[in-house]
Chain A
Amino acid sequence: NAGVMQNPRHLVRRRGQEARLRCSPMKGHSHVYWYRQLPEEGLKFMVYLQKENIIDESGMPKERFSAEFPKEGPSILRIQQVVRGDSAAYFCASSPRQADGYTFGSGTRLTVV
């Protein structure tokens, strides 16, 4: 079991470009959570998804950010028209049941230049 896989590990984008962050949950996990960690801050909840459904997106910025978890394939966090303030580490976690057995990936570090 390879654990929660996130890619890329590092991503550099110019202002205005799109960033796509991928998360493959652990085998058997159907719940996926995205968290953002700004420099010198704790992780902040962004969105919680189950297969093909967004359950809670209360932590997502209202514009430019979207997430999906299709029936097949990894969960995708998409940031359109990135700005410098989007620079952060984005962590994905998965669990086999709601709110239980979280496993975190190693994160994607996004740098906007």
Chain B
Amino acid sequence: KNQVEQSPQSLIILEGKNCTLQCNYTVSPFSNLRWYKQDTGRGPVSLTIMTFSENTKSNGRYTATLDADTKQSSLHITASQLSDSASYICVVSVPSNTGKLIFGQGTTLQVKP
């Protein structure tokens, strides 16, 4: 069964600190792996997209890594801000003619002042 598992389920950090979120997937093969940010009451917004041949991708203070051999990805947030408080979702795209995405359950990050 294609699955995407994320850890930790939730995380609290102080403003200015760094953090790393983990994603393990069993989806195989896959087209690409994405990290989304979902604010409360909003739809997911894309942060990074990586194909299986890419090891790292950055978007400002967000850096995603991918190890296709171990089927693991991480999202590193540098110098966290209060506005980073949100749910971060790891998403794997299945190669098909339908564009179906498989979502992890997300990591809820709370940044405190």
Residues on A close to B: CB < 8 A? 4, 31, 33, 35, 40-45, 48, 55-56, 58-59, 91, 93, 95, 98-100, 102, 104-107
User: Do A104 and B44 touch across chains, with their CB atoms under 8 A apart?
Assistant: yes
- A58 / chain B contacts, CB cutoff of 8 Å: 98, 100
Question: Which residues of B in the span 27-50 have a Cβ within 8 Å of any Cβ on A?
Answer: 31, 41-46
Residue B77 lies at the interface, judged by CB distance under 8 Å to chain A = no
In the assembled complex, how far is the CB of residue A4 from the closest CB belonging to chain B, in whole angstroms? Answer: 7
Q: Which of B12-20, B52-60, B61-69, B102-110 contacts A (4 or more CB under 8 A)?
A: B102-110
The main secondary structure of chain B at its interface with chain A is loop
Residue B99 lies at the interface, judged by CB distance under 8 Å to chain A = yes
User: Do A42 and B101 touch across chains, with their CB atoms under 8 A apart?
Assistant: no
Q: Which of A31, A35, A102 has most B Cβ within 10 Å? A: A102
Residues on B close to A: CB < 8 A? 4, 31, 41-46, 89, 93, 96-106
User: Do A106 and B43 touch across chains, with their CB atoms under 8 A apart?
Assistant: yes
In the assembled complex, how far is the CB of residue B33 from the closest CB belonging to chain A, in whole angstroms? Answer: 13
- A106 / chain B contacts, CB cutoff of 8 Å: 41-43
**Complex CA distance for A44 and B89, rounded to whole angstroms:** 12
In the assembled complex, how far is the CB of residue B85 from the closest CB belonging to chain A, in whole angstroms? Answer: 18
In the assembled complex, how far is the CB of residue B92 from the closest CB belonging to chain A, in whole angstroms? Answer: 11
Q: Which B-chain residue is minimally distant from A100 (CB atoms)?
A: B99
**Complex CA distance for A100 and B41, rounded to whole angstroms:** 24
